[in-house]
Chain A
């Protein structure tokens, strides 16, 4: 349960709200128990005068408290979850250098987001009922202990079993199963995505039946894992139910000695055990939430792979980029990408880097942006080793456009302003024109304020690339790395774009990464990457 405690600790900024919700919940629980007990007490001649008053007070109190409880706990939970999302976003953002987001991480991220959402059970379904049980237990023991100590002891034992021991058992089982459940759903997702991405292959090779069978077998594995989880919860639930029934039976048998007051006693036991009936199921949910919390914490609190230097050097004025004897591999078990790479890119030059995919063109960009660090050699920006610069400073100097550059489900304006928040209206239209997308945007009724994601104006793949390009051009960075900027554009648009690029970009350094040139590019130098080095190629 340690990971869940860590999640709860992250919510301390919202402690006041969370505690208020908790207190109202406690009051509501006690009112519910009081109401049931008072309705039993009506039969006891001793309290015949007091009980009706209690009923008239507790009945409305219970209704009002339940309503307030729902409102405050939901409000508190929304605040806490919002904090959790922002915390997670920050944590992941600074750890991005570790590789997440650079590679095919969309699915991984989607799963992590699901894990965050799974934490919503922690407060309302687990924390609050547990606290209520902790308050109800002494109330039960004190009220009954005064009349029958042995009965109180037996009831306390049953209560502890139902409220704490069985839920803990269910939680442990669910936590162990939580990992296999996550794997099973990932397996189903991969198999389904494979079949649909490969629809052409599937049809060409007549593999429809095989693909369907694969997906069905993954689904069967998922259902089996879910069934195991369900069974754990069901058994714990049945155990708690039998505890409650034994408690009621004991009270029924022992109440005889109390006379009419025994009725109130039985009603009290009924209500007390009713208040914890859902705890075993909450235990099972806690197990899953804890398994999810482990993954969330690993992603957002793991070690920083490339921390900023303690005393970063201020950003130098120059923007010449130099790779000096760089050796790099992504991990020790992978072949080296660069081996003694030396490359000079003077300020304001336009160079092209060519090479087959896999030759390290994109790795070069990752090194320059310090998303990864070389194992040998160094990279200099304006004469300063980039290892001594703050990452944020470095990235303000170097702009990057790649396949993994994302457009957000927001307005066109907001998407562009991401690169330069203070850009003027004219500047926005200017870059849209450079990226050959101005006409299409002007044709939209909302112009720059059109939402990209809204069904009507969803842009085609080629148009999206051009918007991403416009954003890269808007960036104030003095060095622009364009990683296959024309992927997904048809031949004519590609030519248009490259021609425009020739005419723009003033003083900026341009590093164009491509697998082949079209012949219209205006370049100062061309390099070919092979064997882990850059070789100057004839223009």
Chain B
């Protein structure tokens, strides 16, 4: 069995505490249901007693009405319990999901250095969805498994102490048997859960790669292998289940034993003519299933805690939310004519590896274009990531019009900058939505103008819905050059004074590259621009745009050319 790490354990304990506090209405509803069931059993026992002896404690008519009224109430409590159960799960999911996504959004793009976005998305969506049962069923069931039987035990104790003893002993058999076979059965069940998860993962893995299997002509081999894997896992799982199901045997045994003992006791008393109050015996007999019902609920919800453990391992490792920033001096930076300066800036991602930037200094004046050149890994992109606020420099100062960007709130910094990367991400929605992403409050006319500026009409003209074409998931796929035009339109719409270009044509063929560069050149007019490019292309940029060029190697400035 794999060890749970302490972080995950702590997380789970925290969540259990929050969940238990939120689950009290459910516990109350559960106990109310048990009380109503006891009341019904009393009236039913009274009516049944009337079949044996003519003198029952309550008149049959009243008992029948009482039974019916309590049945209606119990149905109402049942519906309410379902609603409360749902709400407990939904609230917990909402809370956890907002928390997880806020952490991820806050940690920002630096996160993508170590993790895959699809895995993070699966954590946020599916892992949290699977936690529903932990909050909605497991936590209340764990409390009710003790409180419900205890309540009924008190009632029976007042009426028939010996019967109460029978219920107590058989009831205690359940946790004792669980503890004896018990912790073993819990572990077995956990292993079964892990095995099932593994089988599902394998199936999913093969389905995702089905194209590769088909094109290699391996359909039959893989189908047979899938069948074999499933069969082997079934054998192993069944070995585990043979033990795991023993805990439900304990429960069945206890319930059947209680019923048989109490029935035989009443029967022999009846035969001996010593059954003083048949109504009470009948009442106790009717209570037996109600007594064991919370224990059954507990064992049915047992699986849910494994889901929670699996989720805890992932959710507890999410980046922490930073403490709310103390009110800093929010520097107001004039929006036109930006000067950007790096002053002895160093950046270390990982102390075990050489720094991404060491002692880099440069200055870009308003309206100037600086080309940062160098091979991949030279630290060019790190400059851009610092300016976008994706990372903070380890040492040194980065200033915008003389203001240290460490003192700017992220929103202020993002207002000043526009950025075009290597492969822009398009969101599910229309092309128009994707442009407007840059400035949600922009008017239709402004969006159209941005699209025209980026020459998007060169490909939207061929689309039946034009700018209203749906892109992204399940929509029209755009080519690299087309997507880059959307990014240019975004940058134009945002109209920020500082433009950051991170190898914007790296993945384009030469013809498209020339067209995109032309649009970019027009975008740079009047703006302060920092362009990052690998050495060969940088040469071409310089030839077309002029401007200054700074060569980086292994995080250091190795040469500076052009007018200062």
Contact = CB atoms under 8 A, between A and B. Distances in A.
B333 interface: no
Contacts of A157: none
Interface string B96-111: 0110011011101101
Contacts of A400: 215
Given A39-B285, A199-B108, A192 B376 contact: no
B215 A369 contact: yes
A96 B317 CA distance: 38
B109 A109 contact: no
B51 A75 contact: no
Contacts of B125: 185, 188-189, 192
Interface stretch (A51-59, A126-134, A343-351, A496-504): A51-59
A409 B201 contact: yes
A491 B376 contact: yes
Given A113-B200, A191-B428, A238-B75, A203 B509 contact: no
Interface in B248-271: 248-249, 252-253, 256-257, 259-260, 262-264, 266-267, 270-271
The winner among A102, A200, A227 for most chain B CB atoms within 10 A is: A200
A538 B464 CA distance: 36
B44 A252 contact: yes
Interface string A91-107: 01110100011111011
A241 B75 contact: yes
Contacts of B78: 234, 237-238, 241
A113 B377 CA distance: 40
B211 A102 contact: yes
A198 interface: yes
The winner among A45, A67, A419, A515 for most chain B CB atoms within 10 A is: A515
Contacts of A539: none
A206 B437 CA distance: 10
Contacts of A227: 86, 90
A56 B285 CA distance: 16
Nearest to B267: A42
A223 B128 CA distance: 13
Contact of A516 (B218, B231, B285, B509): B509
A203 B267 contact: no
Contact of B428 (A185, A190, A200): A190
Contacts of A85: 203, 226, 230
Contacts of B83: 230-231, 234
A63 B440 CA distance: 65
Contacts of B278: 43
Contacts of B67: 245, 248-249, 252
Interface stretch (B360-368, B411-419, B556-564): B411-419
B522 interface: no
B297 interface: no
- Give the interface SS of chain A, mostly helix, strand, loop or mixed: helix
B388 A204 contact: yes
Interface stretch (B237-245, B336-344, B351-359): B237-245
Contact of B481 (A38, A356, A419, A421): A356
A265 B427 CA distance: 65
B241 A203 contact: no
A464 B121 CA distance: 22
The winner among B60, B98, B124 for most chain A CB atoms within 10 A is: B124
Contact of B462 (A86, A233, A266, A335): A335
Contacts of B97: 215, 219
A59 B260 contact: yes
Interface stretch (B8-16, B321-329, B472-480): B472-480
A308 interface: no
A212 B289 contact: no
A233 B419 CA distance: 51
Interface residues of B, number: 137
Interface residues of A, number: 133
The winner among B264, B410, B427 for most chain A CB atoms within 10 A is: B427
A63 B249 contact: yes
A212 B99 CA distance: 10
A273 to B, nearest CB: 12
A396 to B, nearest CB: 5
A187 B411 CA distance: 28
A330 to B, nearest CB: 10
Contacts of B377: 490
Contacts of B210: 89, 92-93, 96, 100-101, 109
A453 to B, nearest CB: 8
Nearest to B229: A82
A150 interface: no
Interface in B65-95: 67-68, 71-72, 74-76, 78-79, 82-83, 86, 90, 93-94
Contacts of A311: none
A116 to B, nearest CB: 8
A61 to B, nearest CB: 9
Contacts of A248: 44, 67
Contact of B223 (A38, A90, A106, A188): A90
Contact of B388 (A74, A203, A260, A490): A203
B444 interface: no
A9 interface: no
Contact of B51 (A102, A255, A356, A421): A255
Contacts of A246: 71
A93 B82 contact: no
A55 B375 CA distance: 85
A52 B428 CA distance: 69
Interface in A197-233: 197-208, 210-212, 215-216, 219, 223, 226-227, 230-231, 233
A405 interface: yes
Contacts of B472: 190, 194
A60 interface: yes
Nearest to A530: B511
Given A82-B227, A245-B75, 4 more contacts: A39-B262, A63-B252, A199-B111, A215-B97
11 contacts: A52-B264, A67-B249, A96-B214, A211-B105, A212-B101, A241-B74, A249-B64, A252-B48, A259-B51, A395-B216, A404-B212
Interface of A: 35-36, 38-40, 42-43, 45, 48, 51-52, 55-56, 59-60, 62-63, 66-67, 70-71, 74-75, 78-79, 81-83, 85-86, 89-90, 92-94, 96, 100-104, 106-107, 109-110, 112-113, 116-117, 185, 188-208, 210-212, 215-216, 219, 223, 226-227, 230-231, 233-235, 237-238, 241-242, 245-246, 248-249, 252-253, 255-256, 258-260, 262-263, 266, 270, 274, 333, 335, 354-358, 369, 392, 395-396, 399-400, 404-409, 418-419, 421, 453, 475, 490-491, 515-516
The 4 closest A-B pairs by CB, nearest first: A406-B209, A82-B230, A358-B479, A39-B263
